[in-house]
Amino acid sequence: MLRKEQNDLLTQTGPETPMGRLFRSYWVPALLPEELPQNECPPVRVKLLSERLIAFRDTNGRYGLMDEFCAHRGISLWFGRNEECGLRCPYHGWKYDVTGQCVDMPSEPEDSGFAKKVKLKSYPLIERGGVLWTYMGPADSQPPVPEWEFATVPAAQSFTSKRLQESNWLQAMEGGIDSSHVSFLHRGDLNSDPLFKGARGNQYNLSDARPVFEVVESSGGLYIGARRNAENGHYYWRITQWVMPSFTMIAPRGDHSIHGHFWIPIDDENCWTWSFDYHPTRALTDAEVAAMRAGKGIHAKVIPGTFRAVANKDNDYLIDRAAQKAGRTYSGVEGFAMQDSSLQESMGPIVDRTKETLVSTDSGIILARQRLLRAVKAFVETGATPPGVDTVHQRVRSAAVVLPPDQPFKDGAREAMIAHPGVAPASV
Amino acid sequence: MSSAAEARFRIQTPNPTSRVVKVISLDTASHHEIATLVDEVPTADLVVMVASAGADAHAAAIIGEACSLKHVMTTTLVIHAASATDEALSKTLAQVRPWSLMVVIASDEAYVEEILRSFR
């Protein structure tokens, strides 16, 4: 459990909140490139960390992300005209470039120079690895560009999707490091989902339904190891990476792609669930990409033209009680993504953590919260750079390995948990 | 039913917190303390063992066996891991793993208090 003030501190990410300031230390995913598919395409409304923004791609292909509202009369620039290297407000013609600088003000005398004094708050927006990233912190503290491995491999080796999740970011992220739920909620899908089935490790999962967990601090966050019995007294380990504040990477299965998530606050009651799949040494097959687009694996099928899942809280996630009773799915909801999301959204927009009854298998969640609380305190009080900003913390991998019984997985899988370009992942 | 407005109608009665958690430091526990804990295991919901990385944690077997017989959950918190060698950590893990259903390896002991607070 958390005290109310601790829960508030971790779940509130608006401007000037402690957690909001911490989130603004990182490059965070903002949009998919396909949302701004060509120069002078329509602008896109973006809400991140409780700030309403507008994203656009100008005549020369430069990306802009700035305050959604015109400095003049507060018109939403979503109605703007994207033309001649700027976004022009249709009300009185004020025009802004990708930095938010007002470059034309037709209602003022041509040489008044007043336009130069008007600048909307803006943030950098860069394309890297199939994601448009933004950094919303102080310009003089901008960190190096992201080095997460999925964003550095060739485009053919990676696939990324995003989905609206109608809950606070923290309860979504906590689901990503709650390894003990997999044996229950997702048990029906390991041998049927095309992005998971066929791996030898699945048999360890299914033959030992009572894994033992080890949680180990890492420099960027935590390693969460789930241990099951393997042959000859050895242990089969599935090691999840959590890197602050909201990156998780799930252990791979066989030669399937590696996958993971970011959970990025939209506001305090909604977040974006970003889901990536990549393979360090080969291109994803057409069948794999088709499955991901169809919502298999950790991805979700969304309503066309939106990022809201087809199965959502307005239709009770299309729960199938017959499938639940027959054991085809454990909860009756189909697919890993919505199995998780349905339950996390059911907690309410911001779960009241003063009322939890945590048990020892929740130790990963407990430790993650404590690491976040410490990082926020150090950041606010001393300006300490939080874990996860350093790109060394980003060059990590999850791993699935078989190790001798007395070996710490942090030791036995040391190299496997580092992203070495071109090296195959440790997977069973 | 999961909206912020609906959340106002949730029952506000606190959840019961009557569980019994027993905590023991494997580094410093005397024979008497270990024997006492073993006697108390049947009344416990959770036994938490705390061990420094590299320290002798042989008592984990005695306590763990008692917990196993009574089907009591065990968690071991291994602290001071950041300053221990891999060999030292490995030695402690070899002693606690067979008897721990959850192991947390942390850099400092301040986490112990926070984890125990979360189990209240």
Residue B1 in this model has a pLDDT that exceeds 70: no
Nearest CA in chain A to B113: A370
Considering only CB atoms, which chain A residues are within 8 Å of B94? 405-406
Q: Which of A7-16, B97-106, B107-116 has the highest mean pLDDT?
A: A7-16
- Mark yes or no for CB contact B102/A363 under 8 Å: yes
Please state, in angstroms and rounded to a whole number, the distance separating the CA atoms of residues A423 and A163.
30
**pLDDT score recorded for residue A14:** 98
Would you list which residues of chain A are within 8 Å, Cβ to Cβ, of chain B? 1-2, 166-167, 212-217, 269, 313, 345-350, 352, 355-363, 366-367, 370, 405-408, 410-411
* Residue of chain A with shortest Cα separation from B78: A216
The residue of chain B nearest to residue A345, with distances taken between CA atoms, is: B2
Across all residues in chain B, what is the average pLDDT?
90
How much is the ipTM here?
A: 0.91
Of A313, A356, A408, the CB nearest to B93: A408
Question: pLDDT tens-digit profile of A327-357?
Answer: 899 999 999 999 999 999 999 999 999 989 8
pLDDT tops 80 at residue B14: no
Q: In the prediction, which pLDDT does A81 show?
A: 98
- Which member of A215, A349, A359 has the closest CB to residue B105? A215
Q: Identify the pLDDT of residue A410.
A: 83
Which tens digits make up the pLDDT trace of A284-340?
999 999 999 999 999 999 999 999 999 999 999 999 999 999 989 999 999 999 999
Ranges of chain A whose pLDDT falls below 70:
none
Nearest to A26 by CA among A274, A389, A379, A391: A389
CA dihedral sign of residues B117, A13, A298, A276: negative
**Residue A254 region by backbone torsions, left for phi larger than 0, else alpha for psi between -120 and 50, else beta:** left
Q: Tell me: the pLDDT tens digits for B50-63?
A: 999 999 999 999 99
- Chain A residues inside the 8 Å CB shell of B73: 359-360
> Residue B15: its pLDDT value, please?
76
**Which of B49, B105, B111 to mutate to probe the A interface, most A CBs <10 Å?**
B105
CB B78 within 8 A of CB B89: yes
Hey, what long-range contacts does B83-92 have (CB within 8 A, 24 or more apart)? Answer: B83/B53, B84/B52, B84/B53, B84/B54, B85/B54, B86/A408, B86/A411, B88/B53, B88/B54, B89/A408, B89/A411, B89/B53, B89/B54, B90/A406, B90/A407, B90/A408, B90/A411, B91/B54, B92/B51, B92/B52, B92/B53, B92/B54, B92/B55, B92/B57
Rounded to whole angstroms, the Cα distance separating A323 from A394 reads 39
Structure tokens at B49: 């063992």
Q: Nearest CB to A366: which of B14, B82, B118?
A: B118
